[in-house]
Structure 1
Amino acid sequence: MSADTTAPSSAPTQTPLEHRRVLEALAGLILGMFVSMLASTVVSTSLPVIVHDLEGDQNSYTWVVTATLLTTAISTPIWGKLADLTNRKLLYQLAIVIFVLATAAAGFSQSAAMLIAMRAIQGIGAGGLAAVSQVLMADILSPRERGRYMGLFGAVMAVSTIGGPLLGGLITDSIGWRWNFFVALPVAILALVIVQLTLHTPPRRPGKASIDYLGIVLLAVAVSLVLIWITYAGDSYDWWSTTTLWMVGGAVICAVAFVIVELRSSEPLIPLTLFRDATFTLAVIASIATGIAMFGASVFLSQYMQLSRGATPTEAGLMTIPMIAGLLITSIVVGGLISRHGIWKPYLVVGSVLLTAGAALLSTIHYDTNFALVSVYMFLLGAGVGMTMQNLVLVVQNRALPSQIGVASSGVTFFRSLGGTIGVTVMGAGLASHVTEQLTQRKGELMQAVASLGDKAAYWGQQLQSTSVPKVSEMPEPIRVIFEDVYAQGISHAFQLAVPFAVLSILAIAFLPNAPLTRMTTSQRAEESAVAVDNG
């Protein structure tokens, strides 16, 4: 790994013509990102309703999210490897097509299992959008210049992350949740056209694409076994059982085999030599914690608003605005400061502290916690994610060799998605077990509440026999209060599980080497390296 030693004393400069060309090139990336985020966020506040209507339980709810995160994580390094070897623009367009077609297909789901399957395919496209967009940005902008343009990405994030949940809630409450999956189709078509017209990638030296298929299979099996074990242990089988032994043992064997295959492969999926660089290794550790916080919060805060505070999908979208505001404000402001001054590490340290504080405080919430306090907690968590998420990729790209920019970028994104996948699964399993345990302990109290309903007692007694995620807002007052309390306790318990990982991110970021940011794009660095080689 090589680092540029340019002093961070003055801001980068561009001519008006260069600035206009950058904006034209970024237009396709920005619209593609908007498609990805809109298709994801428009569904987020509707998931409790969707899973309820498809008669899914809490584990199904978790897997609707986990399936996407898992395939995103596994496919990200594949897309990254392809980005180092083939046409990046074509890859980006392919990722958009896969993502949106799978999203639309999910709208026709007739069961939770079908929805999970479509979301898994959606994750493959999402992995491409995440990985290839980072590589293309490195082609267009130097690490030092990138902060200047973060305002554009921030504006798109604002529209999609705030407008998406609100739009999804309105569609669900007025038309029906299935239309949430179709709303991104016109935008996707426009994105493909804009990318074709405006995104002009630099010519690349020809290379033979070689994909480590065995590594892909071993990684997928290892991660899947762990996630399935975590989801169903303590429910379908005991934590200490024969099933646990073969699932955990199988995961360990596949993980060891994956490492061996990667060490021997000429074109490894994740070059393990990257871990020789302290920046990459520590950024990976920090990204895992960021992924757990980011994905865990987006999944379980929506459930908290609807199952513990009786909000509708539209109201839930409004109630999560403080977290989104924290993310947007810090990502835009910090991006600009990094671009202007070239100093990045203090912002990442502060971000990791805010992320940890937000997760810790959210682990204390109850169904009747003052919402002003909950808003502050969400803002802190969002601010922490905004200050760390993209800047960890930036720091790694600043250090990576031009020939490895794709696998290095996608490596960090992969482990962030993997952290989110495992985190959501662990938090979801903790939530499900806690809710089951609490409802069992409070069975007598529930029966008394049902008995107090008079003529409606038989109906609600039958409804409570279902294992599907409930519509708490439609329950009678005596039952609703119990369920709101139980789910609030379960969700706060889920956030407790995320705190240790957040603390680990503080330590990892604190030890990151404080290397100055280069002013050269990846293409410029590659040309410089090629000239140096040609000149001997």
Structure 2
Amino acid sequence: MAEPDTRAPEKAGLGFTHREILVTMSGLVIAMLLAQLDNMIVAPALPTIVGDLGGLEHLSWVTTGYILATTIATPIWGKLGDLYGRRITFVAAVALFLVGSMLCGMAQNMAELIGFRAVQGLGAGGLIVGVLSIIGEMIPPRDRSKYQGVMMAVMPVAMIGGPLIGGAITDHLSWRWAFYVNLPLGLVALVVSWITLARLPRGTGHAKIDWWGTGLLTVWITSLVLVATWGGTEYAWGSPQILGLIALTVAGLGAFIVVERRQPEPIMPLRVFKNRNFVLAGGIAFVSGFALFGAIGYLPQYQQFVQGSSATNSGLLLMPMMASVMVVSIVVGNLISRTGRYRIFPIIGGVLVVAGMFLFSTVDLHTSKTATALYMVVLGAGMGGIMQTSTLIAQNSLEMRDMGAGTGVSTFLRNMGSSLGVSILGAIYAHHLTTSLADSGASAAGGTISASSMTPAALRAMPEAVREVFQRAVTDGISNLFVWGSAVAVLGVVVALFVTHVPLRGGKAVATVKPAETPVPVAH
């Protein structure tokens, strides 16, 4: 068996000064904020959108279409950046996102809105991978961590601010402004990026596009996202539709691997998976996405139904977790920049994620908001130690020619973890909620409870005995959700333990423990 490659790839960084990096970062931060903020701003407007455009049966596709397009586009934009240069592809992604935003605001029916949201999602995929790839090309890894910490802090800011901004826009302006608000911010990002990224390499522009790989990638990713989105909700997991999509996913993935191994310029170069640290970093990214979005997706259920918070307040109650993610991301980034050491952070972060999710598995009807806020701080601190270090480890394992494609793969794995986390943990929550209600004999307690149509306002109007039955069912679903979530998070800790330290490029080498030499078999 061959030794893992522990050599640091070639030097990175293009000699940008700190001031030049900060100016460039201003445009990149706006672009990342746009990509992360969009779904959060739109969510509070969805009920109003349905009332205006109709098409309630297709409402979920307003979100699914965006996520699906973003997931498909992420590795494609990454590879295009490798071939044609970061500047032109990033600016093109921003422009496409703005065109999609403008069209969404002009939509006259639900079909148009879903189609335009897909256009917007195609651009968003280029924003996310473009920002991370540009940082990866501009800044050596030793210095990169402190800047990536700032970028990772954008996500919690978007998750906190998005619902508040979206609600205010919908209440006081029009739901269309939830899309139009992207235009002035995006134009600033467009101008700043075009001016400040002029020094980035332009690429040859002569490479052939891997159309077969792109098509097969679209097929198997689309099938997988639809399995994660529809499984257990639109269709039963054992239904012909879901089983057919699973078969299509497996067949599409197999064909994709065969094609990518033969392409001179594959859309997803399989050689990046030969580096053990890159594969492990991808596993960590997958688990972090699974845990974070699984938690965020269903904690408001407990906060609204059991703790009695309003929809707006439940968003604000997530602030301890988001603030913890933001602070720890920045602190960890600076520590890595000073010391050059990073291996310990995903391990500690993974342990804290396990601890935070386990704490949430202990909630009951009487758990206070103060207690849940402390649990969120623990969970958020763990995520802050994982999120940017997984990207840093992945990028430090890549050659510069694969920076965009490799970053796209890492981001793709985090996105897939998020999709599967929301879907699988949601199925667990729904199963335990409905089972608990069925076993409780709720209708005999003074009212009939329907989990699918229950709202916090409707629950408050019911008799106390019925409220308590439903609240117990919600608590049972949430606690079981976090039990399974903590089990998945344990896998993240195990994966992190196998990461080996490779000195970060751009700084002084850090002393490492030399791995025991293993005899390499001689070919005969």
Q: TM-score, normalised by structure 2?
A: 0.82
Match of 1:130 among 128, 131, 140: 128
Match of 1:526 in 2: none
Instruction: State the 1:351 CA deviation.
Output: 0.9
Task: Give the conservation status (yes or no) of the 8 Å contact 2:6–2:500.
Answer: no
Where in structure 2 are the equivalents of 1:261-280 lying within 5 Å? 261-280=259-278
Which residue identity lines up with residue 445 of structure 1 in the other structure? A
Task: Give the conservation status (yes or no) of the 8 Å contact 1:66–1:424.
Answer: no
Which range is displaced more, 411-420 or 139-148?
Answer: 139-148
Match of 1:41 in 2: 40
Match of 1:341 in 2: 339
Which range is displaced more, 270-279 or 352-361?
Answer: 352-361
Which residue identity lines up with residue 495 of structure 1 in the other structure? F
Match of 1:408 in 2: 406
Which range is displaced more, 509-518 or 375-384?
Answer: 375-384
Q: How many Å separate the matches in 2 of 1:280 and 1:5?
A: 12
Where in structure 2 are the equivalents of 1:98-177 lying within 5 Å? 98-103=96-101, 105-106=103-104, 118-149=116-147, 153=151, 159-172=157-170
Q: How many Å separate the matches in 2 of 1:324 and 1:140?
A: 28
Q: How many Å separate the matches in 2 of 1:364 and 1:123?
A: 37
Match of 2:521 in 1: none
Match of 2:515 in 1: none
Q: CA 1:306–1:505 in structure 2 vs 1: closer, same or farther (change >3 Å)?
A: same
Q: CA 1:126–1:485 in structure 2 vs 1: closer, same or farther (change >3 Å)?
A: farther
Which residue identity lines up with residue 28 of structure 1 in the other structure? G
Match of 1:471 in 2: 455
Q: CA 1:323–1:94 in structure 2 vs 1: closer, same or farther (change >3 Å)?
A: same
Instruction: State the 1:181 CA deviation.
Output: 3.7
Instruction: State the 1:413 CA deviation.
Output: 0.9
State how many pairs are aligned.
Answer: 497
Q: Deviations over 1:77-104 (max 9, x none)?
A: 1011001011322222222233344445
Q: How many Å separate the matches in 1 of 2:163 and 2:355?
A: 25
Which residue identity lines up with residue 417 of structure 2 in the other structure? G
1:512 counterpart SS class = coil
2:276 is the alignment partner of 1:292: no
Instruction: State the 1:272 CA deviation.
Output: 1.6
Where in structure 2 are the equivalents of 1:11-50 lying within 5 Å? 18-43=17-42, 46=44
Where in structure 2 are the equivalents of 1:294-443 lying within 5 Å? 294-366=292-364, 368-442=366-440
Task: Give the conservation status (yes or no) of the 8 Å contact 1:49–1:471.
Answer: no
Task: Give the conservation status (yes or no) of the 8 Å contact 1:32–1:96.
Answer: yes
Q: Deviations over 1:234-266 (max 9, x none)?
A: 666654455454333332222211211121222
Which residue identity lines up with residue 141 of structure 2 in the other structure? P
Match of 2:485 in 1: 498
Match of 1:445 among 431, 437, 442: 442
Q: How many Å separate the matches in 2 of 1:448 and 1:114?
A: 46
Q: CA 1:482–1:185 in structure 2 vs 1: closer, same or farther (change >3 Å)?
A: farther
Task: Give the conservation status (yes or no) of the 8 Å contact 1:231–1:426.
Answer: no
Higher relative contact order (CA 8 A, sep 6+): 1
Q: CA 1:39–1:5 in structure 2 vs 1: closer, same or farther (change >3 Å)?
A: closer
Instruction: State the 1:392 CA deviation.
Output: 1.3
Task: Give the conservation status (yes or no) of the 8 Å contact 1:100–1:188.
Answer: yes
Which residue identity lines up with residue 19 of structure 2 in the other structure? R
Which range is displaced more, 482-491 or 336-345?
Answer: 482-491
Q: Which runs of 5+ in 1 are unaligned?
A: 7-12, 451-460, 521-536
1:365 counterpart SS class = coil
Match of 2:501 among 514, 530, 533: 514
Task: Give the conservation status (yes or no) of the 8 Å contact 2:237–2:243.
Answer: no
Q: Deviations over 1:45-77 (max 9, x none)?
A: x388679967868x966x665544433222111
Task: Give the conservation status (yes or no) of the 8 Å contact 2:45–2:166.
Answer: no
Task: Give the conservation status (yes or no) of the 8 Å contact 2:360–2:372.
Answer: yes
Q: How many Å separate the matches in 1 of 2:233 and 2:333?
A: 45
Match of 1:92 in 2: 90
Task: Give the conservation status (yes or no) of the 8 Å contact 2:24–2:192.
Answer: no
Which range is displaced more, 273-282 or 475-484?
Answer: 475-484
Which range is displaced more, 122-131 or 286-295?
Answer: 122-131
Task: Give the conservation status (yes or no) of the 8 Å contact 1:162–1:317.
Answer: yes
Task: Give the conservation status (yes or no) of the 8 Å contact 2:353–2:486.
Answer: no
1:266 counterpart SS class = coil
Q: Which runs of 5+ in 2 are unaligned?
A: 508-524
Q: CA 1:88–1:154 in structure 2 vs 1: closer, same or farther (change >3 Å)?
A: closer
Which range is displaced more, 478-487 or 323-332?
Answer: 478-487
2:362 counterpart SS class = coil
Instruction: State the 1:404 CA deviation.
Output: 1.1
Task: Give the conservation status (yes or no) of the 8 Å contact 1:307–1:473.
Answer: no
Task: Give the conservation status (yes or no) of the 8 Å contact 1:169–1:317.
Answer: no
1:517 counterpart SS class = coil
Task: Give the conservation status (yes or no) of the 8 Å contact 1:143–1:398.
Answer: yes
Instruction: State the 1:503 CA deviation.
Output: 1.3
Task: Give the conservation status (yes or no) of the 8 Å contact 1:66–1:425.
Answer: no
Task: Give the conservation status (yes or no) of the 8 Å contact 1:323–1:375.
Answer: yes
Q: How many Å separate the matches in 2 of 1:156 and 1:289?
A: 20
Which residue identity lines up with residue 497 of structure 1 in the other structure? W
Q: How many Å separate the matches in 1 of 2:254 and 2:349?
A: 34
Instruction: State the 1:286 CA deviation.
Output: 1.1
Where in structure 2 are the equivalents of 1:224-243 lying within 5 Å? 224-229=222-227, 231-233=229-231, 239-240=237-238, 242-243=240-241
Q: RMSD of the alignment, in Å? A: 3.6
Q: CA 1:112–1:430 in structure 2 vs 1: closer, same or farther (change >3 Å)?
A: farther
Q: How many Å separate the matches in 2 of 1:499 and 1:302?
A: 18
Q: How many Å separate the matches in 1 of 2:9 and 2:211?
A: 38
Instruction: State the 1:515 CA deviation.
Output: 0.8
Task: Give the conservation status (yes or no) of the 8 Å contact 1:431–1:491.
Answer: yes
Instruction: State the 1:327 CA deviation.
Output: 0.4
Q: TM-score, normalised by structure 1?
A: 0.81
Q: Deviations over 1:417-473 (max 9, x none)?
A: 11212222222333344444444445x5247544xxxxxxxxxx7xx77955x4323
Which range is displaced more, 64-73 or 247-256?
Answer: 64-73
Instruction: State the 1:21 CA deviation.
Output: 1.9
